[in-house]
Structure 1
């Protein structure tokens, strides 16, 4: 079996990068990145990645950064990591300055030629973990993917959109963007929870893309403004990246667009959940001004809907209120989840928006995954 590698940056990834001079040149500056010990130790013990440290140390060995100030903190860092079972198979340190354009300096691959075109290694299955766009660029140059330890994904856009020069195409190799080592370990251990569904009939053409572990980014266009607003609540308050594009027969009425969107979204949720191992399974109630909205759900595999919400208006925006129940029934069926929905209040807009927000929070709670208790949440042994 080919070997997979984690190419791991040091400063800003394993340890906090000193904010003023960026040099870890004293013991007083040594501070580990939050939660790195537990999670890297877990990855090292549970998975089969080799660990390779790849770090630029600008001018190491020069009068501005003498060797004797570097090694005490570095060696203590390595000794502390080793005490937690975190050892490295290779350590690659580049000492050049940025203006030198050295072939060994990240994101160039001069320090890593032993891994390139080597049949022993699975570079497409490997990752670079780092906090700068240059780390993502290194992943691109190596032919692997990146885990960007930075939640500002816009840094990976071209410079015209706020990123740095040379960022074109970096988003394509970025598998995960986060500042939380818990998420890094979860991603590497349990995998991605993304799904795409295309549903095409004579009445609608729908594309849904979902990342359960996203950041709440939404791009939604159903042709119904109020429906778009409600669906956006699911992504935003559920912490999921959600894309929905719908071309429906709105010249007939709204029915097919709303129903088929619910079916496609529900199928997408079911696919993204995968085995359901480690999930919380259950989940939520929230107030919204005059309303109290409760959405309790169970990803137990048995679809059911209990609906206890009455609407007095025929429409809210461009969405018929009779379609609310129908949307949640279709969603429940396709996602194979039990939904129990209740809403109290006077303002009709607040009531349905509260239901969608409560659904989002229920989903966020129920799909939360614990890799340290990676079991199926069922006494039956199946969901």
Structure 2
């Protein structure tokens, strides 16, 4: 692979030029992709720049250019013969899913691949580029105003570095995965990113973002109605949720359900104009409709199951085993099992957690259950921990 030392820093602003560029990439095995976006004043991300590189060529695309159609790029992203490589792909994929109406495929996320290959939890692009490509990323343009035109050469070079060094990172991570036989591990993780449902939260589920601490039925019903109303308003107006109503105000509304405009006006953070206007009327109607609905339609928040008494030491043993396995297999702990997973495994052999399924069970879950049931023990050997088979 060649990295062009003098990349073309002229942004693509015309549809015919974009068509030629994307056509030149239609037969390559992969492309690296990144975006620069802003979200401070909008609900949906405002895409300001799109960077795309094949094995040889790299360009930036200006989606704000007048008259530019992104359809040639979308056609490339839909091309299943070309692998799309991202780093920490979720936000970029949310953007493209909204623009295209579907998730680009197939996918490769270098951050997830790095976790599979033992680079730790959620390694940054700068760290990965340094370790695998020997590159030092100039971070001075990270918080630039990407919506302002014209773009400087410095801005474009910074943006291009997000996809040019990514090529070498991808090549080296792919080689490691193939050598270790872990390509299937990554495929399981990519299935979640490829699912359109990952990027669409129904308004009726917006209340879950708030992580309420009470399970009282009426509280949750009002919170669901208010949060869903806010979600729809924010989407329709394309402004941040907090600009409609702040989270803490939603919590207060749920705790003291308002019935009339005066009730709303007494809420902290809500003005008289809001309470007496169309928005206040709409919010009150949403709450009233929910409270009038059958109680079986109200949301339910499952209580966290209480752990059996005396289970703490077993959980600590499982943590030691997890650390040992991650060191042995050179894989990130976060990818293998969470603290919550360990609690559930300690309490239930059939816990529905990722650590007891697929490749995770093979390298950790089975031994976790055997340790729990006294078939294995942990022992120190020098400065290392090892597993010891116990005879019964």
Shorter-chain TM-score range? under 0.3
Higher strand share: 1
TM-score (norm 1): 0.22
Higher helix share: 2
